[in-house]
Amino acid sequence: MRYWIILLNWNGWKDTIECLESVFRLDCASVGVIVCDNGSTDGSMEQIEAWARGEIQAQSGNPQLAHLISPPVPKPIAYHKTTRNGAESSAPHEDAPLILVQNGGNIGFPAGNNVGLRHALRDPEARYFWMLNNDTVVDPAALSAMIRRMEQEPKIGLCGCLNLDYANPTLVQAQGGFGYNRWMGRSRAHAVRTVKELTPRPPRIDYVNGASMVASRIFLEQVGLMEESYIHYCEETDWAMRARGKFTLGYARDSVIYHKLGMALGSSSDRAKRSLRSEGLAARSRILFTRRFARCALPSVVLFTCLSAVHRLTRGDIERFKMILVWMWKGLTDSIPRTAAMEHPRRSGPDSALDDSTLHNPAKL
């Protein structure tokens, strides 16, 4: 049996090599890592290659967690480079534990991960696939604990872990996942705020937190990949909704990761610090999700989204006010999402890409 880990990188090679240092310390045997790069412009892939050759070292931003990445794992680490088309149409290279995939542009979070999943699924020995944010470091037992949980209860199709805050590891970001209020189109955080407040009783979750999700092969074969049209936000909730009646969601309490939270997209838990990009995509995604799964809640979700925009306006943030309304309208008029194909998707032209200019010209999507 083999396990594949998919990391998505976008202008974040320093985070990625720190994550890789911790991943290559996992206590699981036969682990491969696929790094999919979404069109970085900071030389990310070259830096990751240099790390794999042993020419540069990862640095820890928190001395409390430095033991998870040091001393460095032995180098060089064999790696194989490929393109999006190559990854989606061929099996992983047998002699390389590290696969580097150039996606050809910023194709979004779900589509970027799906490239890695399609590549990994071509390995017939692979049974479990871990989608892990690159702005994390992981405990050595993180993967084995989630696999053990899923082996104990085969109905679990997606499994999450205990997400702790990278900057302050006493703070809990998520226990596997979150609840979801369909009338507001918002996630519901759990009451637990610190590690000391954790209890043995697992929380009820409506979806697994996207920072760390392990999917089984049978789940992917029966439910499909992540829905790519969301670009970012709601893809995990969509996945969970499509799995209802077929699979359950799991949480491995003894699996621990440390997450920097929102480094790539600017999706901070503090709404005042969220980027324009994050605000716009969130508004569009929650409307699209509601149209697909909870049309009766669409009026209230639109209302709460408008109220959110007005709140930004009362603070004098006209740009965010406009951004939320423009992208909410996109959510109301775009095609309702359809599940991404398992096989190599047909593309009539160059790989589609999302860049920052898209936020000011939504028609480019």
- Any domain includes 271: no
CA 229, CA 225: separation in Å to the nearest integer?
12
Residues 159-173: pLDDT tens digits? 999 999 999 999 999
Q: Tally the domains of the chain.
A: 1
Instruction: Output the pLDDT for position 336.
Output: 87
pLDDT of residue 162: 97
Q: Specify if 183 maps to a domain.
A: yes
Helix (H, G, I), strand (E, B) or coil at 147: helix
Report residue 313 as tokens.
Answer: 């306006």
pLDDT band at 277 (very low <50, low <70, confident <90, very high): confident
Is 90 exceeded by the pLDDT of residue 25? yes
Residue 254 lies in a domain: yes
Confidence bin at 261 (pLDDT 50/70/90): confident
To the question of pTM greater than 0.95 for the whole model, the response is no
Question: Contact, 259 vs 136, CB < 8 A?
Answer: yes
Torsion of the alpha carbons at 303, 308, 311 and 313, rounded to the nearest 10: -100
pLDDT attached to residue 364: 32
In this structure, what token pair is assigned to residue 23? 């991943």
Question: Quick check: 255 pLDDT over 90?
Answer: yes
* Interatomic CA distance for residues 82 and 101, integer angstroms: 5
Please determine, for residue 363, whether its predicted confidence score (pLDDT) is greater than 60: no
Mean pLDDT score of the chain: 90
Task: Identify the pLDDT of residue 273.
Answer: 54
Give dist(CA 147, CA 178) in Å, integer.
Answer: 20
pLDDT of residue 262: 57
pLDDT in tens, 182-234: 999 999 877 789 999 998 888 899 999 999 999 999 999 999 999 999 988 99
Distance, CA of 229 to CA of 19 (rounded, Å) = 27
Q: Which structural domain range is residue 210 located in? A: 2-262
Give residue 231's pLDDT: 87
Confidence of residue 338 (pLDDT cuts 50, 70, 90): confident
Return the pLDDT at 270.
47
Asked whether residue 308 is domain-assigned, the answer is no
pLDDT winner (highest mean) among 90-99, 264-273, 337-346: 90-99
pLDDT tens track for 40-51: 999 999 999 999
Residue 357 has pLDDT above 60, yes or no: no
What pLDDT score does 337 carry? 80
Does residue 355 fall inside a structural domain?
Answer: no
Highest mean pLDDT among 24-33, 190-199, 274-283: 24-33
- Residues 134 and 117: their CA atoms lie apart, in Å, by 16
Residue-level pLDDT at 121: 97
Please compute the mean of the pLDDT values over residues 260-287 and round it to a whole number: 71
Q: Is 23 helix (H, G, I), strand (E, B) or coil?
A: helix
Question: Does the pLDDT value for residue 282 go beyond 50?
Answer: yes
Q: Is 300 exposed, middle or buried (0-12, 13-18, 19+ CB in 10 A)?
A: middle
Look at residue 343 and tell me if it is in a domain. no
User: Could you tell me whether strands 207-208 and 98-102 are parallel, antiparallel, or unpaired per DSSP bridges?
Assistant: unpaired
What is the pLDDT averaged over residues 103-125?
Answer: 96
Domain annotation covers residue 291: no
Of 288-302, 314-328, 347-361, the one with minimum mean pLDDT is 347-361
Residue 331 lies in a domain: no
Confidence of residue 354 (pLDDT cuts 50, 70, 90): low
Containing 289, the helix (H) or strand (E) segment is: helix 276-293
pLDDT at 274 over 80: no
Tell me, what CATH number does 158's domain have?
Answer: 3.90.550.10
Say whether pLDDT at 348 is over 60.
Answer: no
